[in-house]
Structure 1
Amino acid sequence: MRLLGIGMCAAALLVGVVAAPAQADTGRDPAAQGLRGAGWALKDTGKDARFRGLAAVSRTTAWVAGSKGTVLRTLNGGRSWQDVSPPGAVAEGLELRDIEAFDARRAVALSIGEGEASRVLRTEDGGATWTETFRNPDPRAFYDCLTFFDARHGLAMSDPVDGRFRILSTDDGGRNWRVLPSAGMPDALPGEAGFAASGQCLVSAGPRDVWLATGGGASARVLHSADRGVTWRVAESTVPAGDPARGVFALAFRDRTRGLAVGGDYRTGQASPQAAAVSADGGRTWRQAQTPPPAYRSGAAWYPYSRGTALAVGPTGTDLTTDGGRSWRALEAGSFDTVDCAPDTGCWASGEKGRVARLEHLG
């Protein structure tokens, strides 16, 4: 979204303060027992960039991408970070808002902005070299998010052009891209767009299912495609909208049926009631969380192998659910923009002022 992409100002409110994570009720989900006593352990990156793009490969390997064209990679659990920023992105000060990594060597990053500022960059050698594989030629388009179904098939999404969201597709791991026909895309609402806040406004689960989150219009909606972006259906969420600063900022799907939506109003000091919703039918319908997070949240991730445990992050803290998103409770205070969990249960979070952390036992 242009408003967010140009400059979203969120205060650094509380830094790294643990809010009794051991008291979180993990009894409802046996897989979440390992979270007792866990919290975010900050990893010094030595940078001051804002990292809204995050790819958790494992407990030891993660990539972050952010402002000023910055990309970092760790191979040792965050003890040290390699600056693998694309030189051209640094020189132009590109805003890298999403990164998808297949392993320690292969990753695809998205920069946002109007026209040619929206680009896709790809590396096959751990960031030693990067290739620009897409540069947006349309001044009306503004790309927000990126997702991959597997190592070959992926999509990127742009805010509406000619009244419909635009979808970019690759079937060779991001080496080449093409704009999909818009015939199967529903009309956008006036003012509707995506939020480039956490790289999670476009997410996938399984080989063909993908979901797109919106805000800014009269209602906050979730669009779903079961054929890799060719055709879409749309559903209204319960997250409030009706303002350019409000809507669904992030989605997380555990599988093709069970999903979470988080968001709210990103403006500092603005209330964000009903800032979370849950779906049990692949996004066809959404129910308001009974106990939502207390404030705006920009990122969400399911805890691997859990029945109903997930994390949500935002500028004012991290929240935990153990019942599939129906109720949330505070895990920690501290500012993060996005969160991602790897298959080996390595969960990472990143955000402003170079902040990156891994979920660890703090006791």
Structure 2
Amino acid sequence: MRLLGVGVCTAVLLLEAVAVPARAAAQPDGAGLHGAAWALKETGKQSRFRGLSAVSRSTAWVAGSKGTVLRTVDGGRNWRDVSPPAAVAEGLELRDIEAFDARRAVALSIGEGEASRVLRTEDGGATWTETFRNPDPRAFYDCLTFFDSRHGLAVSDPVDGRFRLLATADGGRSWQPLPTEGMPEALPGEAGFAASGQCLVSAGPRDVWLATGGGAAGRVLHSADRGLTWRTADSTVPAGDPARGVFGLAFRDRTTGLAVGGDYRTGEPSPRAAALSADGGRTWRQAATPPPAYRSGVAWHPYGRATALAVGPTGTDVTLDGGRTWRSLDPGSYDTVTCAPDGGCWASGEKGRVARLEHR
């Protein structure tokens, strides 16, 4: 979304969740977060990182303003600047990054027209290849997601009344536009938010969800065939204004999902900032006790089927009951959060801050 273009979304703070023993998976929900707290790590950067990909407890990538990309392979103790030189030279806004391992990653820059690009590395960021440059001045790409190491999608705000999608079947080396016949018409003013890299998310080999705002309702669109056909559902997160709607999604599997959002403007209330779904996004239920303010990112914790984290400029919240109730975990400002399968949870935010979730 253009409103979150170059002004509001520009940094990354990365947090790593320290490993908990494998036996924690068998403990009650929330056991893996008992006594946990964010521990800041020094990146030496001032960029705002809204793109984040956690490969494991030790390996993660962040991407943000001024074309900056960082990578760690030692749990955040050291960060290597692997920024694409062309992205730095042009000051591109990198808002999403999807990494497959410590060497392969795909990054998305946002903006109108040619500012929207996809970059790919196969050597840990030593070199980058531009694999897509948007030729349409009406398009504005917000987010990307991968089903596996080969198949992925990128989404643009509506063009000619419908969201536009690109697809790759070779790990981001090439991209092709998908037909728009199966995409419902967008609401007036509806768009995605390039705030956390979580406006487009997937679970399993074929299911993908798109979060929207700006229109009359904050909606979640779902496709079960990798983006060819879609159905829509209204969430309980308010919209009706270019600054309000659903900003981030997380699906634990093809049925169980969380949505977070609100009004990103400082000081504006967001009384219904979270919702949950148990049917693949067909219907949404408002959280009984939502986060107290706007939240832009959300992630399920792998050590508890009902445990998740949500982040925003005013803090981190945790749920232990599948999103029905949320409580504060930390007051620090973060933009996005994600957890790796081995239990390494990371989050990111402004002024180059990076932190790891440690157990004390």
TM-score when normalising by structure 1:
0.94
In structure 2, runs of 5+ residues without a counterpart are: 14-23
Q: Where in structure 1 do 4 or more consecutive aligned residues deviate above 4 Å? A: none
Structure 2 residue 93 is the aligned partner of structure 1 residue 95 = yes
Corresponding position of 1:264: 262
CA distance in 1, matches of 2:110, 2:178: 19
Corresponding position of 1:324: 322
Alpha-carbon shift at residue 32 of structure 1 (Å): 2.3
1:239 to 231, 237, 240: 237
Alpha-carbon shift at residue 9 of structure 1 (Å): 7.3
Corresponding position of 1:75: 73
2:38 to 17, 29, 40: 40
SS at match of 1:267: coil
Alpha-carbon shift at residue 185 of structure 1 (Å): 0.1
Query: Residues 9, 222 of structure 1: CA spacing in aligned structure 2 closer, same or farther, 3 A cutoff?
Result: closer
- Answer whether contact 1:9 1:267 (CA < 8 A) is retained: no
CA distance in 2, matches of 1:150, 1:38: 31
SS at match of 1:352: coil
Corresponding position of 1:214: 212
CA distance in 2, matches of 1:196, 1:94: 13
CA distance in 1, matches of 2:176, 2:303: 35
In structure 1, runs of 5+ residues without a counterpart are: 16-25
Structure 2 residue 169 is the aligned partner of structure 1 residue 171 = yes
CA distance in 2, matches of 1:149, 1:41: 31
After superposition, the C-alpha distances for 1:120-160 in whole angstroms (9 at most, x for unaligned) are: 00000000000000000000000000000000000000000
CA distance in 1, matches of 2:210, 2:114: 22
Alpha-carbon shift at residue 305 of structure 1 (Å): 4.0
SS at match of 1:354: coil
2:156 to 155, 158, 168: 158
Alpha-carbon shift at residue 31 of structure 1 (Å): 4.2
CA distance in 1, matches of 2:160, 2:201: 23
1:227 to 217, 225, 228: 225
Corresponding position of 1:124: 122
Alpha-carbon shift at residue 6 of structure 1 (Å): 3.0
CA distance in 2, matches of 1:71, 1:337: 16
Map 1:188-199 → 2, pairs under 5 A: 188-199=186-197
Q: Note the aligned Cα RMSD (angstroms).
A: 1.6
TM-score when normalising by structure 2:
0.95
Corresponding position of 2:2: 2
CA distance in 1, matches of 2:199, 2:353: 21
Map 1:259-298 → 2, pairs under 5 A: 259-298=257-296
- Answer whether contact 2:116 2:134 (CA < 8 A) is retained: yes
| Counterpart AA for 1:8 | V
- Answer whether contact 2:9 2:194 (CA < 8 A) is retained: no
Alpha-carbon shift at residue 8 of structure 1 (Å): 1.2
Query: Residues 138, 105 of structure 1: CA spacing in aligned structure 2 closer, same or farther, 3 A cutoff?
Result: same
- Answer whether contact 1:303 1:341 (CA < 8 A) is retained: yes
Corresponding position of 2:20: none
CA distance in 2, matches of 1:360, 1:66: 24
SS at match of 1:53: strand
- Answer whether contact 1:213 1:250 (CA < 8 A) is retained: yes
CA distance in 2, matches of 1:317, 1:6: 22
Alpha-carbon shift at residue 189 of structure 1 (Å): 0.2
After superposition, the C-alpha distances for 1:341-362 in whole angstroms (9 at most, x for unaligned) are: 001100011110001212111x
Percentage identity across aligned positions? 83
After superposition, the C-alpha distances for 1:151-196 in whole angstroms (9 at most, x for unaligned) are: 0000000000000000110000000000100000000000000000
CA distance in 2, matches of 1:349, 1:358: 8
After superposition, the C-alpha distances for 1:198-251 in whole angstroms (9 at most, x for unaligned) are: 000000000000000000000000000000000000000000000000000000
SS at match of 1:99: strand
- Answer whether contact 2:9 2:50 (CA < 8 A) is retained: no
After superposition, the C-alpha distances for 1:25-60 in whole angstroms (9 at most, x for unaligned) are: x9xx71421211101111110000000000001111
- Answer whether contact 1:56 1:348 (CA < 8 A) is retained: yes
